[in-house]
Amino acid sequence: MEASVDIGTQVLPVMEHFYTIQGEGFYQGHAAYFVRLGGCDVGCVWCDVKESWDALAHPAVPVNEIVSFVRESGTPVAVITGGEPAMHDLNELTSQIRAQQIRTHIETSGVYPLTGQWDWVCFSPKKFKVPHPSIYDQADELKIIVYNKSDFDWAEEFAAKVRNDCRLYLQPEWSKEKEMLPMIIEYVKANPKWEVSLQIHKYMNIP
């Protein structure tokens, strides 16, 4: 699938956008405006937003209009997510958002080189497609979704590649939370460089 098309005024496929509370990772509990872009070719079998995969299924929205939504919310943080947002050229989007004195965060599987200017990069690798080597030095946060016991060893492979100051999180896959969370707790106790991440927005029934 090709990256977004620039037709003068750049447009991006927007599945949804909303002001909410960041539900996971380092900024858990903080107010943030989420922009979910369409397009993803990673193919996680347990993905809970599979409707985001087809970029052409979502309206092409001009970047300046997206930035208006973000600015008018009063948010201190804009989180660009997907899908896989790094499929698209995000230079113009992040430049305009930062010009409003709003932080730019991205949630990415790391399979494409990043474009844009980022205040925080959440790298969440998936087994279904290999990350691009450039992501390791850019990641501020490594978030591993734990679906089965073998994911702990897999997580350590990535922890060895990111920067020493990268925050390390283990997060249970939502449908297996009751099974995997006790294992995660014990693993973090034995390996305290890791932290537990929970999808608290799902517990609070908010987007």
Cβ neighbour number for residue 105 with a 10 Å cutoff: 26
Record: fold of 11-203: TIM Barrel (3.20.20)
Taking CB atoms within 8 Å and a gap of at least 24, the contacts of 156-162 are 158/123, 158/125, 159/193, 159/194, 161/136, 162/123, 162/136, 162/137
Six-digit token pair at 15?
Answer: 């599945």
For the segment 119-130, the average pLDDT, to the nearest whole number, is 93
- What pLDDT shows up at residue 203? 60
Cβ neighbour number for residue 90 with a 10 Å cutoff: 25
Q: Tell me the one-letter amino acid at 63.
A: V
CA distance 26 to 131: 21
- What pLDDT shows up at residue 204? 64
CA distance 156 to 143: 11
For the segment 102-123, the average pLDDT, to the nearest whole number, is 97
**Per-chain mean pLDDT for the chain:** 91
pLDDT at 157 over 60: yes
pLDDT at 2 over 50: no
For the segment 1-30, the average pLDDT, to the nearest whole number, is 80
pLDDT band at 42 (very low <50, low <70, confident <90, very high): confident
For the chain, give every domain's residue range. 11-203
* DSSP-assigned letters across all residues of 73-137: HT-SEEEEESS-GGGS--HHHHHHHHHTT-EEEEEE-S-S---S--SEEEE--BTTBPPPGGGTT
pLDDT tens figures, 43-76: 777 677 778 888 889 999 999 999 999 999 999 9
- Given a contact cutoff of 8 angstroms between Cβ atoms, the answer to whether 108 and 90 are in contact is no
- What pLDDT shows up at residue 3? 44
pLDDT at 6 over 50: no
